[in-house]
């Protein structure tokens, strides 16, 4: 069985970190935020085998069955919340992607700003949440291996690997922690943005972009130095967005 156990993860880490693993939580991000706000001592990484109330951006449900996914939250109580905080999610996307490539031998792409896709299906969701005065939590949810019921709960959801894979969740968890630990100290430099752009699934694509209640069709032409989405509008003008949502990619081109 593919069991997640802190004692199995620890020897694979390049730096000693405190991990806590639970068979079930409501949501690793939710629990981590509660601990921070209550002033409790927290681990560096909180992991659950199953989430009963997993969520992503805009409080959307994140289907989190036991045995087939990875649900983990990095907890950074000392993180300074400043103008560079928006670079944390792109850094995490690159770190998670590189760990997946190394361990799983598959090649996901990045959907601005916080998702990874494989074969046009979402396989990873990333959610950063800041708690002023208490720090930052960074959640990572991964559809690790195929689950027969997943498609019933999550449209356009896929999985990294087939159900009979010999790769374990512990291997990928350790690789992600190691890559994040390596990249985090210099995340403000944005030195990973070239990799973020190189593996973007959106650059060059025509998409539907939702900004507030409004939707428009634009062409994505780049990712800026603050990880903002740079688009060309129908009138030919360029515009950048730090907060928006790509709801649809029109006429995929590889």
208 near 246, Cβ under 8 Å? Answer: yes
Average pLDDT over the chain, rounded to an integer:
93
Q: Which of 223, 210, 222, 67 is nearest to 150 (CA)?
A: 67
Q: Is 226 exposed, middle or buried (0-12, 13-18, 19+ CB in 10 A)?
A: middle
Q: pLDDT by residue (tens digit) across 128-142?
A: 999 999 999 999 999
Query: Do 206-250 and 6-198 have the same topology in CATH?
Result: no
Share of the chain above pLDDT 90, in %: 83
> Which CATH number is correct for 6-198, 3.30.465.10, 3.30.930.10, 3.90.850.10, 3.40.50.970?
3.30.930.10
Domain boundaries, the chain: 6-198, 206-250
202 near 231, Cβ under 8 Å? Answer: no
Cα 117 from chain centroid? 11
pLDDT at 81: 86
pLDDT at 148: 61
At the second CATH level, the architecture of 206-250 is Roll (2.30)
Q: Is the pLDDT of residue 57 over 80?
A: no
Q: Which residue has the higher pLDDT, 185 or 150?
A: 185
Q: Which of 35, 120, 30, 119 is nearest to 71 (CA)?
A: 30
In this prediction, residue 83 has a pLDDT band, given cuts at 50, 70 and 90, of confident
- Phi/psi at 121 (5° precision): -115, 140
Q: Is the pLDDT of residue 152 over 60?
A: no
Start-to-end CA span in the chain (Å): 37
- Among 48-57, 59-68, 146-155, which is the least confidently predicted range? 146-155
Q: Which of 92, 105, 114, 87 is nearest to 201 (CA)?
A: 114
């Amino acid at each position: 069985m593919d069991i997640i156990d802190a004692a199995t993860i620890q020897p694979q880490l390049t730096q000693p970190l405190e991990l806590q693993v639970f068979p079930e939580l409501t949501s690793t991000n939710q629990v981590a935020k509660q601990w921070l706000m209550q002033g409790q001592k927290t681990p560096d990484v909180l992991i659950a085998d199953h989430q009963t109330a997993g969520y992503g951006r805009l409080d959307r449900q994140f289907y989190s069955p036991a045995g087939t996914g990875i649900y983990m939250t990095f907890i950074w109580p000392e993180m300074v919340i400043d103008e560079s905080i928006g670079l944390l999610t792109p850094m995490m996307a690159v770190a998670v992607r590189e760990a997946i490539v190394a361990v799983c031998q598959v090649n996901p792409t990045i959907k601005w700003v916080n998702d990874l896709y494989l074969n046009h299906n979402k396989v990873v969701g990333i959610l950063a949440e800041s708690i002023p005065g208490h720090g930052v939590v960074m959640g990572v949810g991964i559809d690790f291996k195929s689950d027969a019921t997943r498609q019933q709960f999550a449209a356009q959801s896929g999985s990294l690997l087939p159900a009979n894979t010999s790769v374990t969740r512990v291997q990928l968890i350790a690789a992600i922690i190691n890559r994040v630990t390596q990249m985090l100290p210099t995340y403000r430099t944005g030195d990973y943005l070239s990799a973020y752009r190189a593996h973007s699934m959106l650059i060059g694509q025509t998409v539907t972009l939702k900004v507030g209640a409004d939707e428009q069709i634009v062409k994505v032409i780049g990712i800026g130095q603050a990880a903002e989405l740079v688009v060309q509008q129908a009138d030919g003008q360029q515009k950048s967005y730090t907060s928006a949502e790509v709801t649809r990619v029109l006429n995929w081109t590889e």
